[in-house]
Amino acid sequence: MFKKILIANRGEIACRVIKTARRMGIATVAVYSDADARAPFVQMADEAVHIGPAPAAQSYLIADKIIQACKQTGAEAVHPGYGFLSERTSFAEALAAENIAFIGPPVGAIAAMGDKIESKKLAKAAGVNVVPGFVGEIEDTEHAVRIANEITYPVMMKASAGGGGKGMRLAFSEKDVREGFESVKREGLNSFGDDRVFIEKFIEDPRHIEIQILGDQHGNILYLNERECSIQRRHQKVVEEAPSPFVSPEMRKAMGEQCVALARAVGYYSAGTVELIVSGKDPTGKSFYFLEMNTRLQVEHPVTEAITGIDLVEQMIRVAAGEKLAFGQADVKIDGWAIENRVYAEDPYRGFLPSTGRLVRYSPPVDGWTDDGTENGRRGIDGVRVDDGVYEGGEVSMFYDPMIAKLITWGETRDAAADKQIAALDAFEIEGLGHNIDFVSAIMQHPRFRSGELTTGFIAEEYPEGFTGAATSDALKARLAAIAGFIMTARADRARQVDGQLAATLPPPASWVVQLGGADFTVALDGNELTVNGTVVDLSMEYTPGDRLVEAEVDGEALCVKVEPTRTGLRLTTRGAIHTVVALPAHVAPLTAHMIEKVPPDLSKFLICPMPGLLVSLNVAEGDKVEAGQPLAVVEAMKMENILRAEKSATVKKVNARAGDSLAVDAVILELE
């Protein structure tokens, strides 16, 4: 077994690998860029080596710096994590030349499966179903248009070396191909150093299901069941679960055996994932097609660990050290259900725009991993596990992936795992930048999610106008009104004790009018009794002014509520929604009818940068006439290109930026008239 390994990655996956290595008694080496000097993974590792500036192209993507760090520290092996150099054959070859073990598959398998065009040819030869499409290189936009027209719409354009949702565009028409083809090429080149693109038929009502593969260097290859990854936004996975609510035992066996056959055909060992697209319109479950094989650990691997009890990182290390798998296919079980939500630095209330900045407050739910990775290491305490690599006071920058953390829950049933997600998300505190906690909580509560009727179009179909918060029942509004009344009374009682604010003998108001969710509630406190609109409410909670998180039980229902005071009341966040509460003493409330509403300014004549990023291209000049929906500019942020379009017909009055400029959020790119 190795005595020391180096992790050629950063963030939560670096922390994840270090925890398992520590449990196995293996010393670890971290490498870090300028941006990560104070990151948790650097502190956790036994040694750390600085490898360059913040941009990945100048640090984490330079193989020579990783190899030099191995030589400097005496690391015998490298775990690449995912992304960066994890699927680059030249890196694995360079390590082998220096007699440094690569904790991953053989070079031949990486090469065979890393090229999406070649991998489809191999899959077809191995007897695996493949999606109809053009398997070959596309010369230019005109060539892409001809191919798409021949396949028939809708089609998917994909960067050959792409992954993680980058370098992908869905096209429903020739216009979409013409607008998106060059962006796909650029994203492929910028993220993976390869601008080749292929086009294939888009399967309608698709489910995204993947099979976890694990093999050793002695010819043993197993499948560790499946994961459902259908809930995606812009082809980036948001929610993953294991097992899939769609897959039957017969389907699981058929998928698994085909995927093992493909892995065997390329001499695969280590952990890997075969991604499949499944037609949700086929009730037999037989219409599944090969998409790609990821020759690395997946972001969503914890849900597989939770239901099988197998530590995939440990197995990768053991396989790289030459050990045989200690179990067979018959030993792979399905124990309960696991769900993972990716917590991203993005603002769902503003069209999911990327959000960067400092984590002013970061307090996740209980982390299921103990220091030595043993006790409750599989599922976490009470079925909750958090994999992260950030810290309170740290910064989420524009240089890397926007994922802040992964929240994993385990339960005996799918509903139990989802309920634990809701409770854990309520207790997950993040302040300082936008995040998607409310959004994923809303998904966990959504009737369609609970029914298991999922497709990759779930988010677009269920939130066509964007996200404004989870639906809130009248019962929940009444409970929140009760909590708000209690908090306002406590705050008023505290205020009267502060010198100079209120007379010391003046009691706090006993009755409040709480405006919440378009309804008015009268909340009255009389001794130990609390009523909402005259109905007695059983409320149990503790609150001290200044508390950010309140745990309450209202009429037998447990609620965890984030509390933020405002000028006119409170902002309460729970169950996937932000509730702006106006709370006034009952005798003052009638005066609010005379308040003047402030109208926000009209910004429609400006093209405003919605997130910090790089202005890749500007498609218009001063004096140009534009039509509604016309692309005006392309901004790249967190490795993704965003097309900014005109909201209305107008003429370009003034241009304030040019291609290549780094833009701040809300920067005015151009003015219209």
| Catalytic (active-site) positions | 292
Q: What is the signed CA dihedral for 147, 152, 158, 160, rounded to 10 degrees?
A: -50
3-state secondary structure 414-458: HHHHHHHHHHHHHCCEEECCCCCHHHHHHHHHCHHHHHCCCCCCH
Q: Which residues, in sequence order, are CB contacts of 107 under 8 Å at separation 6+?
A: 89, 92, 93, 96
Distance of CA 639 to the CA centre of its chain: 14
- Total number of residues shown for the chain: 673
Asked if 32 and 12 count as a contact pair (C-beta separation under 8 A), the reply is no
Residues 6+ apart with CB under 8 A from 447: none
DSSP 379-416: T-GGGEEEEE---TT-EE-TTS--EEEEEEEEESSHHH
Helix (H), strand (E) at residue 30:
strand 27-33
Question: Rounded to whole angstroms, how far apart are CA atoms 193 and 185?
Answer: 10
Q: How many CA atoms lie within 13 A of 456 on its CB side?
A: 19
Tokens of 252: 């699981």
**Separation of alpha carbons 12 and 23, rounded Å:** 17
Q: Which pairs count as long-range contacts for 122-126, CB under 8 Å and 24+ apart, including other chains? A: 122/262, 122/265, 122/266, 123/262, 123/290, 123/293, 125/265, 126/261, 126/262, 126/265
Q: What are the two backbone dihedrals, phi and then psi, of residue 202, each rounded to the nearest 5 degrees?
A: -90, 120
Using alpha carbons, list the distances in angstroms from residue 290 to 135, 210, 275, 661.
Answer: 13, 9, 6, 40
In angstroms, how far is CA 508 from the centroid of its own chain?
44
Residue 536: exposure state from Cβ atoms within 10 A (0-12, 13-18, ≥19): exposed
